[in-house]
Every structure is written in C-alpha cells, then in structure tokens.
Structure 1
C-alpha cells in the first residue's frame, strides 16, 4: 500500500469512529426533554438544588433549564409560555397558584450603625421592577419621610453586603439575613408578609411530580401549612 493509501485509511477510521459516536448520541435520549424553571435567586437553596439533582438522575431524558430573576419578570414570562414552573414573590397569590407561603419581611440596617437615620434616608434597593423596592418607596411615602437611593444591586448578595457596610436601609426577607451583620430597624413599623407562590401549567405527569417535590422544599422552608 502506498503512503497516500495509508493516510486515507487513517481518515476513514476517524470518520467511522465519529459516525459511531454520533449514532450513540442519537440513541441516548439523555437531556432531550427540557423543563423550564424560573425562580428568585434566594429560592435556589441547597435543598432545592438537591431536589433538582435527584430528579435529573432519576429522569435522564429530562434537562432542567433554570433561570433566576426578578419575580415580576418571571411572572410575565410564565404567562407568555416561556416557563413550565415558576416560584415568585408577590403581594398576594393569583387564583391559579399551586401553593403559596407567607415570607416574613422587615427593615434592616447595618449592625454597626450607631446613629438614627435622618432625612433624606439612604436606601439599598433592587433594580426597577423589584417588589421590595416598590414597597420601600410606598412605606416611606406613607411615613412622610424623605429618601434617596444610595445603592442599587442586581443580586441579593450585593444588597446584603451594602446594608452590612452601612450604605443604607433595606427591606428584606427575614430568613435571608441569618448570619449577616445586620439588625432590624423597627422605626418604620411592621411590614406585611410577602407571598411566595409556585405555579405550573401541568397538573399531572412528570412536571407535576417535580412541582410536588419543589413545594415540599418550600413548605419545610417556611414551616407553613400548604395552601392548594
């Protein structure tokens, strides 16, 4: 055999290997069926991640496409058919919720703060469209307090760090402040709880099984009876 022939045999062997690999991939349905999930950043807890991991291992054909974001945007995209499941925070749950739980809210300041906040009060907020942001503004308007935005953070972590360093006050879920260098600021009064709700289009089948597992995580987190 000539040198050119040996060279072509090498190419042919590689082509055959690629063909075999392609056939194997086509026969394996792993990750071929997407389930689209949207949830706020702080709802992606270790317990929720564990549920996703176990579910994915039990159902190899399923691919979990998880998106985090602001609740209003997630709700709008869900209503437009872009998600199969969402967890969102809202003033009150819509009638078609699968389950909903109350989330305790409160104002917080840095634990190192040594002076009372005077007008205008510095605020640490989420971007426009964030539920906490609107409630903050509404509360201060009711209290006839002057305010300004000292910091806007796109993530819960950035907001918490900014409050810790004393940049301003913020309205936050109480559960997210455990272990942080912040303390409650009660001068602005009590805050009504926010509803944390889970929605799904599917009432039966594989998606509903995942929704039930996600609901159990929320139920344990909020230590509340399920409202279905």
Structure 2
C-alpha cells in the first residue's frame, strides 16, 4: 500500500464522528439512535468502524451508561472541533452567502459619522453584500482605484481633476489652536500632510503669496494626527470644515490668509459597475449632499 493510500485509509468520516459524540453526550446507544433518527444497530456499526480506523477501543459499556475510554476522550476532543468547523462551513455557504464584495475607499474624515452610519444601514438592508472599507490619503486611494483594488471611492481632488460620478465643493478653513494659538509667531509654524498630500501645496503657496515666513513643524498622513497637532499648538493648518474640532479656532478673515477653495470631493465608480455598487453610490451621494449643505 502506498503512503497516499495509507493516509486516505485513516480519514475520519464526519458521520462516524457525529455518532460517537452523540453517544457520549447521551450516554446511551438507544438515545443516540433516536436523536440521530437512526437505529441502535446502525450506530453500533458506526462506532465499530470508527474504532477500526482509530486502532483503539473508544467506548466502554457500563451497567447503566456508555463511557469513553482514554483514547475515546482524545478522539472526542478532536471530533467536536471538526464537527464545529463543518457546521461553520455549512452556515457560511447557506443563505448568508456573500453574493458581492464591494471594496470602498474613503478619506479619513469620511471614515466615521454619517458615512459609516449609512454604510451600516445599507449592510443591514443587504446582508448578502460584504463591504470592505479602506480609509487613507486621497492620493493612495486614487492609486488603489486605478489598480483595480477598489470598486467605489471618495477622493479629495482639485476641481475637475478627473471625471467622476458626482462632485461636491470642499469647504476648507484655516485653523489654529484654541488654547495655544500660534498665528502671530514668526516664522509661522504649519501642520500639514506629507508631500503630495491634500492641501499641502496650496497651504504653502497661500503663505508664500502673503510674504509670510513659515516652517513645517509637524507632518502626518493621519487626519487625527493633524487635528491633534493643531489643537495642541504645534502650528496652524488647513482643514475641511467637517474636521474642525472644539480644540480648534478658525483663523479670522481679518488676518488676511487667502481662501483655498479649489478642492472638491469626487465620487468614482466604473461605468460597468454592479447595480449594487451604483445603489451604494447613491447612498454616499446623499451623505455628501448633506455634508455640503452643512
């Protein structure tokens, strides 16, 4: 007999494993047979077959009940785990089968609040749709979308940079710390995203146009990192209105900082996208429309 034949001869049938687990739980062949809608002789045959495969006696008949041997206890532990995995597989492939996975990309400031609330509501309506949400810098999300790694994306971009399903203007504000303002410092410290990060070039160009001296005091690819650094007095920054927190103070127009209003939020999906992706795009469109009005 080849090694593969020997291996195959030792495969444990789940039906046999379920029989011994039921007998052990019931403590009786008769009761186990009733529970499994079988006969006592059939259950006994399955246990004998299992003992042949295991090479050990697995059950001992007592005066009143049936008890597992030491080898039986060892086998029962594995049997329960295998049966549990089988049940999980059956459930995964049942009516709860994922019919479609939608890969979504959103900037950090859209990864909570109304956006996730609407995504959760959509998921409850369509439990067969699996949503995989990635948040990050728009430059990275755009690259992932172009590589085919995302199905639906929200991007912050300069107006009309690329064709989109829908676009909304991005309202931004110059923001300082409410408790430790630094707008009057010279050179002016600024908090911003890394190179090619959204707002960075425009922020620097605006300060240059004023003739203000400046230096970068803090950079982060995380929106929360930018928000915290500004609130803690590391420098001023340029943020979308939705990202301004109680720890921030909007720099008044009297300071003379120019408005930066050349950005938009764009929603993208491919023309041949699944109808469910298009439905989800409509959900996100409503969120963005509310956000723009706000």
CA deviations 1:127-183 (Å, max 9, x no partner) are 222111121122122223322111112322221222122211111112321433322
- Choose which of 117, 136, 139 in structure 1 pairs with 2:184: 117
2:64 is equivalent to residue 4 of structure 1: no
CA deviations 1:173-209 (Å, max 9, x no partner) are 1232143332215332222242011111145611100
Aligned to 1:220: 290
Q: Could you say which structure has the larger radius of gyration?
A: 2
1-structure distance, mates of 2:179, 2:136: 30
Closer/same/farther in 2, CA of residues 20 and 172 from structure 1, 3 Å limit? closer
Aligned to 2:155: 88
Closer/same/farther in 2, CA of residues 81 and 115 from structure 1, 3 Å limit? closer
Residue 105 of structure 1 contacts residue 193 of structure 1 at CA under 8 Å; is this kept in 2? no
Aligned residue pairs, count: 224
How much has 1:31 moved relative to structure 2? 3.7
Local SS of the residue matching 1:37: strand
TM-score by length of 1: 0.85
1-structure distance, mates of 2:258, 2:208: 13
2-structure distance, mates of 1:83, 1:115: 40
2:215 is equivalent to residue 148 of structure 1: yes
Structure with higher RCO (Cα < 8 A, 6+ apart): 1
How much has 1:66 moved relative to structure 2? 0.5
TM-score by length of 2: 0.68
2:229 is equivalent to residue 162 of structure 1: yes
- Choose which of 108, 121, 138 in structure 1 pairs with 2:175: 108
Which stretch shows the higher mean deviation, 62-71 or 24-33? Answer: 24-33
How much has 1:75 moved relative to structure 2? 1.1
Closer/same/farther in 2, CA of residues 146 and 199 from structure 1, 3 Å limit? same
Structure 1 vs Structure 2 CA RMSD = 2.6
Which stretch shows the higher mean deviation, 185-194 or 157-166? Answer: 185-194
Aligned to 2:63: none
Residue 175 of structure 2 contacts residue 248 of structure 2 at CA under 8 Å; is this kept in 1? no
2-structure distance, mates of 1:189, 1:23: 61
2-structure distance, mates of 1:13, 1:113: 64
2-structure distance, mates of 1:184, 1:12: 66
Residue 182 of structure 2 contacts residue 235 of structure 2 at CA under 8 Å; is this kept in 1? no
Closer/same/farther in 2, CA of residues 210 and 147 from structure 1, 3 Å limit? same
Aligned to 1:192: 261
